[in-house]
Amino acid sequence: MDIHNLTIKSFREGIQKKEFSSEEVTQEFLKNIEKNDPSIGSYISVFKNEAINEAKQADNLIKKADKTSFLTGVPLALKDNLVIEGTKTTAASKILESYNASYTATVIEKLRKEHAVFLGKTNMDEFAMGASTENSAFHTTKNPYDTSRVPGGSSGGSTAAVAGGFALAALGSDTGGSIRQPAAFCGVVGMKPTYGTVSRFGLIDMASSLDQIGPITKSVEDAAILFDVIKGKDPRDATSVEGNYTKELLNPDFNKTKELTIGIPKEYFIEGLSEEVKKGMNVAIQKFKKLGISFKEITLPHTKYALSCYYIIMPAEVSTNLARFDGIRYGREKTNTKTLRDIYFETKGKGFGTESKRRILLGTFVLSSGYHDAYYTKAQKVRRLITDDFKKAFEDVDVIFAPTTPTTAFKIGEKAKDPLSMYLSDIFTVAVNLAGLPAVSIPVRKYEIGKSGLPVGFQLIGKHFREQDILSLGMLYEKN
């Protein structure tokens, strides 16, 4: 068994044919983590003993052959902003360095019901704020394709783990591209579901009107399998909704898929798109055309305002969400001062990294008296225009095609000192979050570490609750 080529689908087949057990596969992953992850840094914590125990339990269930599912015994990695009762959850922040969660995220409970195996928690930008994992308080994750480059972010630990053979699949979270951008940089599949389809209960909040948990996998088919398990309305997340999904989510009728029309928004093929990415987009479009998919040029006229709109709304929500880390209920800085007020200032001043402080202050600014209307309300109005652009476009087409990122993975340190250039890495991904749409990033072709250049990814954006459309097109693409 070669863990690098294993998918959830082929793992299931191997298990059923008794070619290997979950414990054997889990051991292989743990061995590879121990040997090779130190040079990549995907993980913040590894659950060695727990993972082996979970795998043994899964194997027992498999032996009895009752009620096992696609995910039984599958070794997964989890982004470290998902809480598990009794375990460390840091969100890659110094402020939560010693935090032990007192409850368990809904997505984790759902995966436990399927008897998935949890290998550990992955690195990320602090509180999911960044596009490179360089904002982690602990270490920078490296891109398995080129260790001098970033894996993307903020779910860079999860995408590096899947690309590097340190997990069969993973969960990430996407607020402005944090699943899709690192998936594109690491040559894996990453999907941000429709806002509300996956419960956010137990996800450490960043920007609540934008955050969604989603799958990071080696194939589109695997992404569908993982999404199918984690979705669903949850009474503990009032914004969660029950989408109307059918069996076709997992078993699409490809004849129907071929009838879908893909729109190409001219605003996404602009100056600043690197030659490699441009080439990749042409390869993908030509392949879809050969498969009989028809394309149509569309326009999303407010695209150029999306990044500004996002970088006003997101920090505003961040500044309120992160206010709770004030040294009272979670970690506290040791301080000689005695008043509550001083504890707030000291704990936040020492506990938050530079990017967190920057966004908290930016959010405080756009919400402050005198600036609220000019920035925050203005951005909320622009958010409507951006959402309406998509609505109009979806009257003519079923799915929208776009590059996931303007460039391939950049060098570690290249953008770390210039926040605006780092923010520009999100230029093709943020509009989807503002509009609450589902989108999946798919590698243009099969990449092999050490043998091919840097990965390029394209995005398929769907209508609300139409994950089925983007996933079936993606499956068609990867099967041919």
Verify binding: residue 372, other proteins, rule CB under 8 A. no
Which SS3 state, helix, strand or coil, does residue 73 take? coil
Q: How many residues does the chain have?
A: 480
Verify binding: residue 232, other proteins, rule CB under 8 A. no
CB 347 within 8 A of CB 127: no
Measure the CA–CA gap between 113 and 129, rounded to whole angstroms: 30
Residue from 7, 372, 380, 449 touching other proteins (CB under 8 A): that is 380
Verify binding: residue 308, other proteins, rule CB under 8 A. yes
Verify binding: residue 423, other proteins, rule CB under 8 A. yes
Site residues (CB under 8 A) for other proteins, limited to 83-122: 85-86, 99-104, 109
Verify binding: residue 245, other proteins, rule CB under 8 A. no
For the bound state, the minimum distance from the C-beta of residue 463 to other proteins, rounded and expressed in Å, comes to: 11
Q: Based on CB atoms, which residue is closest to other proteins, 167 or 204?
A: 204
Is 178 a known active-site residue? yes
Residue from 112, 278, 357, 445 touching other proteins (CB under 8 A): that is 357
Verify binding: residue 244, other proteins, rule CB under 8 A. no
Q: Based on CB atoms, which residue is closest to other proteins, 191 or 454?
A: 191
* Secondary structure (DSSP) of 358-370: HHHHHHHHHHSTT
Angle at which helices 306-321 and 354-367 pack, to 10 degrees?
A: 100
For the bound state, the minimum distance from the C-beta of residue 282 to other proteins, rounded and expressed in Å, comes to: 29
CA distances from 477 to 9, 220, 422, 468, 472 (A): 17, 9, 31, 14, 9
CB 397 within 8 A of CB 298: yes
Catalytic residue, from 178, 240, 425, 472: name it.
178
Residue from 61, 264, 285, 385 touching other proteins (CB under 8 A): that is 385
Catalytic residue, from 21, 42, 79, 240: name it.
79
- Give the pairing type, strands 75-79 and 117-122: parallel
50 exposed, middle or buried (CB, 10 Å; 0-12, 13-18, 19+)? middle
Q: Based on CB atoms, which residue is closest to other proteins, 79 or 348?
A: 348
Q: What count of Cα atoms within 13 Å lies in the side-chain half-sphere of residue 291?
A: 26
Q: Based on CB atoms, which residue is closest to other proteins, 10 or 208?
A: 208
Verify binding: residue 238, other proteins, rule CB under 8 A. yes
Total chain residues near other proteins (CB under 8 A): 76
Is 154 a known active-site residue? yes
CB 1 within 8 A of CB 18: no
Site residues (CB under 8 A) for other proteins, limited to 316-355: 319, 323, 326-332, 338-341, 343-346, 348-350, 352, 354
Catalytic residue, from 21, 22, 132, 154: name it.
154
Verify binding: residue 299, other proteins, rule CB under 8 A. no
For the bound state, the minimum distance from the C-beta of residue 281 to other proteins, rounded and expressed in Å, comes to: 25
Residues in CB range of 240: below 8 A, 6 or more apart: 196, 197, 198, 199, 200, 201, 232, 233, 234
Catalytic residue positions? Answer: 79, 154, 178
